Structure 1
Amino acid sequence: MAEYATHEVFNQPQPLVDYDLFATNRPLRDALRFNAPQLDTAPLQALGRLAGSAEYQQHARLANVHTPELHTHDRFGHRIDEVEFHPSYHALMKAAVAAGLHGTPWAGEGASPHVLRAAGFMLFTELEPSILCPISMTYAVTPALRSNAAVYRDWGPKLTSRGYDPRLVPWRDKPGVTMGMGMTEKQGGSDVRANTTHAEPDGNDDWGARYRVTGHKWFFSAPMCDAFLVLAQTASGLSCLFLPRVLPDGSRNALRIQRLKDKLGNKANASSEVEFQGATAWLVGEEGRGVPQILEMGTMTRLDCALGTSGLMRQALSIALNHTEQRSAFGKKLIEQPLMRNVLADLALESEAATALALRLARAFDQRGDAHEAVMARLLTPIAKFWICKRGSHFAQEAMECLGGNGYVEEGGEGIMARIYREMPLNSIWEGAGNIMALDLLRALRKADAAAALAQELAPAKGMHAALDRLAASLPARVEEMATEIEARRLAQDVALAVQAALLAQQAPGEVFAAFCDSRLAGNWGQAFGTLSAGSAFDTILARATPH
């Protein structure tokens, strides 16, 4: 029987693979030059090559396809509470730890360590974001652990080590460790003061005041970390406690994993519900002072939410540009079609503005000894978390649409877009959703001379665009009035846009700055991406954004 060829495969783009994420990201490199001009970028160059490699893209795919599995008991009936991961998960964790994304700023290495780590975090997010949950939590809890000097003496060096060891063994037998957090409960969520988990005194030992913890946690991410900081009610109120998975004598702590969460995205990371059945823990800081400590840790993880979404934006944009540069329709490459150029340029502006704001916040973390930077860290954390993360899902949907049906499927190189889309809402929800961030902004305005600090931040761009000048002039009065709660989201949005514009004025080409201000501030823009004015510098914007 004759064989007939039904069709030839053509006009299908090659996937974006084996490329250098750092070298091809001009907005990131310019933001680094602005925020940390003396920074040694050699580690970022190496990470950019690794994160763009076919080998590690395959690891990212496998870690999300073969999701974590919970084993509560061994075959003999012993309680073990272990989570099994695919080898690719461990390969990714090893790479992230080796890059110092969990502890660089606490190791005393080099200048601008928070900025360096932030840029690395963004690059790795483009590869695989969900394994960064334990990385981010380790980064956030390390400084808080100093409030228990004895525990920090033993665990501090392990928390900044670049050695990854997934075994569930005592800390002293591992080259490096990771830590998580356990805060929210089913009845309270963000209202941690409603927590019912309680801790009873159980004497003292080498690590200080010891407690027995009984209760539950509704969202307990990365349960295979080596230890956790948890909140529990004590005689003096809500307190912060250090709870290791394996106790100093080598026995397993009474932390029972009830189930793993079946989530929309973040598939490679194990999020769980747990119960503490008289688990052993040690006090960190003062009894009854758990809320201030968790707020400080939340500041660190909120920075990572802004960084993570910025990284996902960049990845989605890169995939969309790669696709449209190769795919033809109606006689032209998609990227040559006027409407598609508008969409891509609009996405490029959003991505660059997010990168600028996220790295500016990281610089504030590096310079907290400076009075202005301390205020900006407090002010920009909820603003960046709110605005960048809010834009993420809309951004991902529009980038997916650039690929058409190819972007909606899970397989192949362009299937990464579906994973990005499912991942995007997480950073907006985790560590405080939009309303929590807006309320946190109001608290920041009450505690610092925010109006003066904001005016100083915007001053370098004064006179460069009329719309920015008008917005900047209106903000001091709104900030000093501390806006009513019902207007807090609008204030967070406007401050974010003003700061993004001022940053672009200083670190991006004039055409990028002008297009951002014309669209976001002057109203020459619609209610969807792809509505820039015809006079925008599309060629400049797109050339700057291309990943090639």
Structure 2
Amino acid sequence: MNKPIAPELLAIPTGRYNTHQVLNQALPATQFNAYTGDVVLQSAIARDAPWAEARCTALGALAGDEQVQELARLANRHLPELKTHDRFGNRVDWVDFHPSWHQLMSLAWQHEVPNLSWRTQEKNGHLARAVLSYLWNQVEHGTACPTGMAYASYAGFEAEPALAIWAEKSRGTTYEFSRREVADKPSVVIGYAMTEKQGGSDLRQTQTTARYSHSADYHGATAHWYELTGHKWFCSVPQSDGFFTL
């Protein structure tokens, strides 16, 4: 018959597995502000766009926030997943992202990273938005691309009367991940399709063509429709609401 082991024999001696002390490793890069800790950025804003000081400070705090950094880690750990069909066999062509990625997108839109320059009437709006973009790139790069594309899209939308609704939605500050109609959404996400296999980063080698099809009314204005023929190798954020195609 086995005898019970005395509790004192089960206890691990204090310090038994302490083999050394860690003295020269950097502490976790958390609890800092990427804006207030950057003298150059602060000087640029103070000189050219002091009205954006509070926005930059708020966004800079996110870069040093431990919970936001965890969202970034999860967004990069869990890759997007292509869903070609639903469970009934219907073709859906949808891309699922981890919830952390959507949380980061919401934060970016909330802090006007994609569109501050198009929303403000203050001086040097583009410089202020560039600072926001610089700060946001220190949070997570997978959401930095769609914020930059949304920023770049507005000028094109604004120049085409038929796309006024897209211009309006590209200025929105509430991110929504859905397939709802553009008119029903608070904002839109815009993708860009440029790269082709034979060209790589050399956009002069683009072979995709656009041929005029017809003109028709679109939200109260005349829109011109084109048929695209070509093959794009890389398309950032494929579940975007719309795409600019080279």
TM range (shorter): 0.7 to 0.9
Q: Structure 2: which amino acid aligns with 1:104?
A: L
Alpha carbons of structure 1 residues 40 and 220: separation in structure 2 relative to 1, 3 Å:
closer
1:199 positional shift: 3.5
Greater fraction helix: 1
Q: Distance in 2 between matches of 1:61 and 1:9?
A: 28
Q: Distance in 1 between matches of 2:240 and 2:131?
A: 24
User: Residue 67 of structure 1 contacts residue 85 of structure 1 at CA under 8 Å; is this kept in 2?
Assistant: yes
DSSP-derived class of the 1:82 partner: strand
Aligned with residue 101 of structure 2, among 86, 89, 99: 89
Aligned with residue 20 of structure 1, among 28, 33, 37: 33
Q: Distance in 1 between matches of 2:50 and 2:27?
A: 37
1:30 positional shift: 1.8
DSSP-derived class of the 1:32 partner: helix
* 2:144 pairs with 1:144: no
Q: Percent identity?
A: 36
Q: Distance in 2 between matches of 1:115 and 1:39?
A: 12
1:133 positional shift: 0.4
Q: Distance in 1 between matches of 2:120 and 2:198?
A: 40
1:212 positional shift: 2.7
Q: Structure 1: which amino acid aligns with 2:200?
A: G
Alpha carbons of structure 1 residues 123 and 194: separation in structure 2 relative to 1, 3 Å:
closer
* 2:182 pairs with 1:174: no
Q: Which residue of 2 aligns with 1:160?
A: 171
* 2:76 pairs with 1:64: yes
Aligned with residue 185 of structure 1, among 190, 196, 201: 196
Q: Distance in 1 between matches of 2:50 and 2:34?
A: 21
Q: Which residue of 2 aligns with 1:405?
A: none
DSSP-derived class of the 1:211 partner: strand
| Structure-2-length-normalised TM-score | 0.85
* 2:206 pairs with 1:195: yes
What is the alpha-carbon root mean square deviation over aligned residues?
A: 2.0
1:93 positional shift: 0.5
Within 5 A, what are the aligned runs for 1:381-460? none
Q: Distance in 2 between matches of 1:212 and 1:45?
A: 46
Q: Which residue of 2 aligns with 1:220?
A: 235
Q: Structure 1: which amino acid aligns with 2:39?
A: R
User: Residue 146 of structure 2 contacts residue 190 of structure 2 at CA under 8 Å; is this kept in 1?
Assistant: yes
User: Residue 93 of structure 1 contacts residue 131 of structure 1 at CA under 8 Å; is this kept in 2?
Assistant: yes
1:108 positional shift: 3.4
Range that drifts further, 92-101 or 195-204: 195-204
User: Residue 21 of structure 1 contacts residue 123 of structure 1 at CA under 8 Å; is this kept in 2?
Assistant: yes
User: Residue 109 of structure 2 contacts residue 173 of structure 2 at CA under 8 Å; is this kept in 1?
Assistant: yes
Q: Distance in 2 between matches of 1:138 and 1:71?
A: 24
1:58 positional shift: 0.8
DSSP-derived class of the 1:40 partner: helix
User: Structure 1 stretches of 5 or more lacking a match?
Assistant: 232-548
Q: Distance in 2 between matches of 1:98 and 1:31?
A: 23
Alpha carbons of structure 1 residues 6 and 228: separation in structure 2 relative to 1, 3 Å:
same
- Cα deviation per residue 1:111-157 (whole Å; 9 max; x = unaligned)? 21111111111111111122110110111121022332111x11111
1:195 positional shift: 3.0
Alpha carbons of structure 1 residues 195 and 14: separation in structure 2 relative to 1, 3 Å:
closer
User: Residue 39 of structure 1 contacts residue 112 of structure 1 at CA under 8 Å; is this kept in 2?
Assistant: no
Within 5 A, what are the aligned runs for 1:222-371? 222-231=237-246
Q: Distance in 2 between matches of 1:196 and 1:190?
A: 13
User: Residue 92 of structure 1 contacts residue 131 of structure 1 at CA under 8 Å; is this kept in 2?
Assistant: yes
1:21 positional shift: 1.8
User: Residue 45 of structure 2 contacts residue 52 of structure 2 at CA under 8 Å; is this kept in 1?
Assistant: no
Alpha carbons of structure 1 residues 9 and 166: separation in structure 2 relative to 1, 3 Å:
farther
Q: Distance in 2 between matches of 1:58 and 1:161?
A: 26
User: Residue 142 of structure 1 contacts residue 156 of structure 1 at CA under 8 Å; is this kept in 2?
Assistant: yes
Alpha carbons of structure 1 residues 164 and 7: separation in structure 2 relative to 1, 3 Å:
same
Alpha carbons of structure 1 residues 195 and 122: separation in structure 2 relative to 1, 3 Å:
closer
User: Structure 2 stretches of 5 or more lacking a match?
Assistant: 1-8
Q: Structure 1: which amino acid aligns with 2:124?
A: S
Aligned with residue 62 of structure 2, among 31, 46, 50: 50
Q: Distance in 2 between matches of 1:108 and 1:206?
A: 31
DSSP-derived class of the 1:185 partner: coil
DSSP-derived class of the 1:229 partner: strand
Alpha carbons of structure 1 residues 26 and 191: separation in structure 2 relative to 1, 3 Å:
closer
